[in-house]
Structure 1
Amino acid sequence: MSENGPYNQPPQNPYGGGEQGAQPPYGQPQPPQGAPYGDPGTGGQPGYGAGYPGGEQHMYGGAQPPYGPGGPGGPGGPGFTPPHPPKSGGGKAGLWVVIVGGVVIVVLVIAVLVTLVTNGSQTPPVAESTEADQGTRDTDSPTDAPAPDTDAAPAGEPPYAVPAEPCDAFTEQVHTDFLLTEEGDKSVQDATSRCSSTLAEAPEGNDSEDYASLRLTYSVPYSASDSIEQATEDFESGIEDVTGATDYSYYIADAIEENREVDLGDQAQYVVTRYDYVGDEVPQAVLLIRTANLNIRIEYQVSPSFLSEGDTEDLVLPDNTEDIMLNAGAEALALVGT
């Protein structure tokens, strides 16, 4: 074994003293090329080739020590790779990012807590409305309809043609009043236009499987569409039909509950009776209106379902039938002349 240790290294003094070729002390600047620690003419490695004849390189001459700076036992030990130094100012920028992010998170948390506390301390107005609505349902009273507009009038001047879009008379209020569950189906011809909705919910007091229907018909005289006299005759014929005064009528003459004039258009008649529905007598309300040369007919009927367990004699119209019928008449009248 060499007196310089097991690795036959050149003599070194870690603190910078002693013979030539020693490692300069920490913190001192490295000598420039060609200084006494290396001979540029011989190709020697600074710090290792100096002091040897002819600049001869020995085992470690001109090569990197195998274990990094300082050799075995040096900083980091075998295989250690020194970390890259941070870029100037990078540490401060990262610190500011962390601080700003933390502040944002704290503000968001405080905002969420304030919102939760505020909402929890207030009584939801929806709940109050729901309780009021429930109280209304508990009275088992029919849906309140607005007061009929007896001042309703056609939009234009006579003579009138039948409306091209009769289902426009089925407004949102009409859908609500009659519990309609579908849009109406229209049928338009020269002398008549019609809108029908046959899948309405049955009003309160009927079996849940029963259903209702609503039909609106506009008509002008076939022979003379502009004739007010002929339209008046058609109106009178309509009253005879719904009161069962003719041999071909499907209305039951003995089942009339109401039959009176109402204030709409030039003439109007409101009738509540029963209708022969495939051998069953079902309740029906009819409103007939005449304005100049045009007649309006609205029919509201409650019908049994084949799944219904009740008798057709138990079928009933709602208590506010007159109000919702007159409202529907006003909507239908307002569409004339548009």
Structure 2
Amino acid sequence: MSENGPYNQPPQNPYGGGDHGSPPPYGRPQPPQGGPYDPNTGGQPGYGAGYPGGDQPMYGGAQQHYGGPGYAPPQPSGSGGSKAGLWVVVVGGVIIVVLVIAVLVTLVTNGSPTPPAADDTTVTAEETGAAEDPHEPAPDSDAAPAGEPPYAVPAEPCDAFTEQVTSDFLLTEAAEKSVQDTTARCSSTLAEAPEGNGPDDYASLRLTYSVPYSAADSVEQATADFEAAREDVTGANEYSLYVAEGVEDDREVDLGDQARFVVTRYDYVGDEVPQAVLLVRSANLNIRIEYQIMPSLLTGGSPEDLVLPDHTEEIMLNAGAEALALVGT
């Protein structure tokens, strides 16, 4: 007989060495140690159907299970925590439902919130002194010559006829210029007549820059020339073609060092036609802008029916600002 037993087994322990105990009894293999509990086998997973030697009657007897009759497998740990979490979810849901119901009841009881009343701080035109006329003149208050005096007349006076000026005065043809030592002119003699006139009536626009003839740099002489131009357009000069009785407006405006806006009537080949004139002086240079409406020569329209546009002062002051900005370039 071998020293290893009657079955001539090798000295090695087939179940993993001496640290795990002695071999199992004959015909009853031991379940592996350390795994989770399997309630179907009363022991470790795999001990039963499919396990070598499992689900076999022990020594011809009935199938045995660990634990014996009435053995109850241990309950999995952590079931108390799961119940507590469920209670938290249920209570939280109830609180949310209660809050929603409370909000709905508040809205139904009080109704929609009323927006706050607007602050009635509107300032009327009378309070501010502003005119309600949509065509209230608004010249560029920052308009000023581009250079320092004394000034010479611009070499390109028609540059003052910008796109805005062309649109305001309904100019339909390219403007023509005329430049000399002491004067520079730009004129457009074929413009559409503004609303309120006949379809064949027309208008003209002329711009003139000038410096004193005898002393081009003299501010005193330029001031005298400004006063002479004012007398001319108001009909105070006996040689003037402007009708003194036709002056409708004559007042000072804010442009340059001196400025005057005049609405009058002009003797055009025996017919009195409406004309607006703007006079501006800046140091030694004077600006004169003339805008007039004329009857059609083809239809023989009546001069008495001709009218200037309602916003004449506005477009004249804007044209004056454009002309002044060209000075000193």
TM-score by length of 2: 0.58
Counterpart-to-counterpart distance in 1, 2:303 and 2:290: 18
Q: Per-residue deviation at 1:148?
A: 1.5
Where does residue 306 of structure 1 map in the other structure? 297
Q: 3-state SS of the aligned residue for 1:193?
A: strand
Where does residue 194 of structure 1 map in the other structure? 185
Preserved CA contact (<8 Å) 2:137 2:317:
no
Where does residue 211 of structure 1 map in the other structure? 202
Number of residue pairs matched?
Answer: 197
Counterpart-to-counterpart distance in 1, 2:262 and 2:204: 16
Preserved CA contact (<8 Å) 2:135 2:310:
no
Residue 258 (str. 1) matches residue 249 (str. 2) = yes
Q: Per-residue deviation at 1:310?
A: 3.2
Q: Per-residue deviation at 1:291?
A: 0.1
Counterpart-to-counterpart distance in 2, 1:143 and 1:281: 29
Q: 3-state SS of the aligned residue for 2:324?
A: helix
| Structure 1 residues not aligned, in runs of 5+ | 1-141
Preserved CA contact (<8 Å) 2:235 2:242:
yes
Amino acid paired to 2:237: T
Counterpart-to-counterpart distance in 2, 1:314 and 1:180: 21
Where does residue 78 of structure 1 map in the other structure? none
Residue 325 (str. 1) matches residue 316 (str. 2) = yes
Alignment of structure 1 residues 215-254 onto 2, 5 Å: 215-254=206-245
Where does residue 168 of structure 1 map in the other structure? 159
Q: Per-residue deviation at 1:306?
A: 1.2
Counterpart-to-counterpart distance in 1, 2:149 and 2:167: 31
Where does residue 172 of structure 2 map in the other structure? 181
Change (3 A) 1:145 1:189: farther
TM-score by length of 1: 0.57
Q: CA RMSD in A?
A: 1.6
Preserved CA contact (<8 Å) 1:213 1:301:
yes
Q: 3-state SS of the aligned residue for 1:221?
A: coil
Amino acid paired to 1:250: L
Q: Per-residue deviation at 1:144?
A: 6.2
Where does residue 286 of structure 2 map in the other structure? 295
Counterpart-to-counterpart distance in 2, 1:174 and 1:231: 26
Amino acid paired to 1:177: D
Preserved CA contact (<8 Å) 2:177 2:187:
yes
Amino acid paired to 2:194: P
Change (3 A) 1:144 1:180: farther
Counterpart-to-counterpart distance in 2, 1:308 and 1:322: 29
Amino acid paired to 1:224: A
Counterpart-to-counterpart distance in 1, 2:137 and 2:315: 8
Counterpart-to-counterpart distance in 2, 1:178 and 1:321: 9
Q: Per-residue deviation at 1:183?
A: 1.5
| Structure 2 residues not aligned, in runs of 5+ | 1-132
Counterpart-to-counterpart distance in 2, 1:250 and 1:155: 34
Amino acid paired to 2:286: N
Preserved CA contact (<8 Å) 2:273 2:304:
yes
